[in-house]
Copies of this chain bind each other. A is one copy, B any other.
């Protein structure tokens, strides 16, 4: 995500952005000292809360819903809650929240069409731990299996392959970011002697592309991979919760298909102060020895309560409304950018708007945009309002004119390679 920022003047506010979190207070922890008075500690925290509120006004690039209210859960900060071990077996630690956790897992199992007695799962510390767990299940099924994943996959998938000492084959994608099944087919045929462990992105981090699960299964069949020789994991990071709530969309993620596991981030769509995730797999894969050993030993007891609370408070009808609203606002942003002559792309069933990257690093930081090569993205979550989007577009257009001045001529970046010629506004493709 490295960008080479063009020359710019730095305002005071921008300088604040340059520090890790705008926290200029002296946070150093001394040795050989007595405790700090409560008033001093509270002052530091209050100042920090103030800076967080400031940053939240322009928080556009990260797929975390910041629109939540968990005031009712504040009394739970009095306790260390620990769900160590298997949530279904129960933990020896009496201060746990496994009852909440199992309710949350049942809800996700139902969402993804698998019966209570057919699944195993747990609430994890995030999407990555959920993927770690799922891919380990796949590897335990097929110790010599090859991990296939698209080049648009999150870098953690490649890191997991290295950690687990698995052979990993990177599969090409279309400009949309979706896995190219023709390339997958060629790779599968090239490695027919080894079982296939396939990680699918539902959807990708940068472009919000959804790999076609049905087409991948068809490709496996066509290349002679019988069901006892492949394992499919669906990495549902952000969209794993959203897609089932699309009225018109087919059941993209469903255990009625021959998939082995699904993971999702808990904090992304539902919103949660701390990162968390969910992994659901088929109980048949979990033998006695692996059941009691989740990836992390001690497991957060608060995260399942946050998730339970969010689901209960919204209700599925509330969730559906939020999904529809995010998609509508993403379309609004996409239209506004396109109308203004800025190259942009929005995949179907996605709230991730990809566009020509701003040339000013400070502008990107100010709006917390995630950038990669020539493109940037905004993830239109629940806290992103039309008003925020309008401010963003107005400021972008204003600044953009200046950047091009610096470069001597008004010449939009060509992003055809990243998002296709049809979505590019450069002089050649416009």
Q: Chain A residues in contact with chain B, CB under 8 A?
A: 1, 17, 19-23, 27-36, 38, 41-42, 45-46, 48-49, 52, 55-56, 58-59, 61-62, 64-66, 68-82, 90-100, 102-104, 106-107, 110-111, 125-129, 132, 136, 154-156, 159, 163-165, 265, 267, 271-275, 293, 295-303, 305, 308-309, 311-318, 365, 368, 370
Q: Tell me whether B94 and A21 are in contact (CB under 8 A).
A: yes
Q: Tell me whether B94 and A66 are in contact (CB under 8 A).
A: no
A70-B77, A81-B274 are known; give 16 further A-B pairs, CB within 8 A: A17-B94, A20-B91, A21-B97, A23-B99, A32-B317, A33-B317, A34-B318, A35-B314, A36-B315, A49-B76, A52-B79, A68-B78, A128-B298, A159-B293, A163-B164, A164-B164
Q: State how many angstroms separate the Cβ of A266 from the closest Cβ of chain B.
A: 10
Q: Tell me whether A103 and B27 are in contact (CB under 8 A).
A: yes
Q: State how many angstroms separate the Cβ of A119 from the closest Cβ of chain B.
A: 15
A126 and B33 in contact, given A165-B164, A272-B80 (Cβ under 8 angstroms): no
What are 28 A-B contacts defined by CB distance under 8 Å? Answer: A1-B92, A20-B91, A21-B95, A21-B99, A23-B100, A27-B100, A28-B106, A30-B316, A33-B316, A34-B317, A35-B312, A36-B315, A45-B75, A49-B78, A62-B82, A66-B80, A68-B80, A77-B273, A80-B271, A82-B275, A92-B370, A125-B125, A125-B300, A136-B163, A156-B293, A156-B297, A274-B274, A275-B298
Q: Tell me whether B29 and A107 are in contact (CB under 8 A).
A: yes
Q: Tell me whether A55 and B273 are in contact (CB under 8 A).
A: no
Q: Tell me whether A298 and B127 are in contact (CB under 8 A).
A: yes
Q: Tell me whether A98 and B21 are in contact (CB under 8 A).
A: yes
Q: Tell me whether A72 and B33 are in contact (CB under 8 A).
A: no
Question: How many copies of the polypeptide does the oligomer hold?
Answer: 2
Q: Tell me whether B165 and A29 are in contact (CB under 8 A).
A: no
Q: State how many angstroms separate the Cβ of A374 from the closest Cβ of chain B.
A: 17
Q: Tell me whether A94 and B59 are in contact (CB under 8 A).
A: yes
Q: State how many angstroms separate the Cβ of A216 from the closest Cβ of chain B.
A: 24
Q: Tell me whether A34 and B315 are in contact (CB under 8 A).
A: yes
The CA-CA distance from A64 to B300 in the complex, in Å, is 13
The CA-CA distance from A49 to B301 in the complex, in Å, is 13
> Which residues of chain B are near A159, meaning CB under 8 Å?
293
The CA-CA distance from A31 to B49 in the complex, in Å, is 36
- Which of B156, B295, B300 sits near A128, CB closer than 8 Å? B295
Q: State how many angstroms separate the Cβ of A7 from the closest Cβ of chain B.
A: 21
Residue of B nearest to A25 (CB): B99
Q: Tell me whether B96 and A79 are in contact (CB under 8 A).
A: no
The CA-CA distance from A98 to B51 in the complex, in Å, is 14
- Which of B20, B29, B70, B370 sits near A106, CB closer than 8 Å? B29
Q: State how many angstroms separate the Cβ of A413 from the closest Cβ of chain B.
A: 20
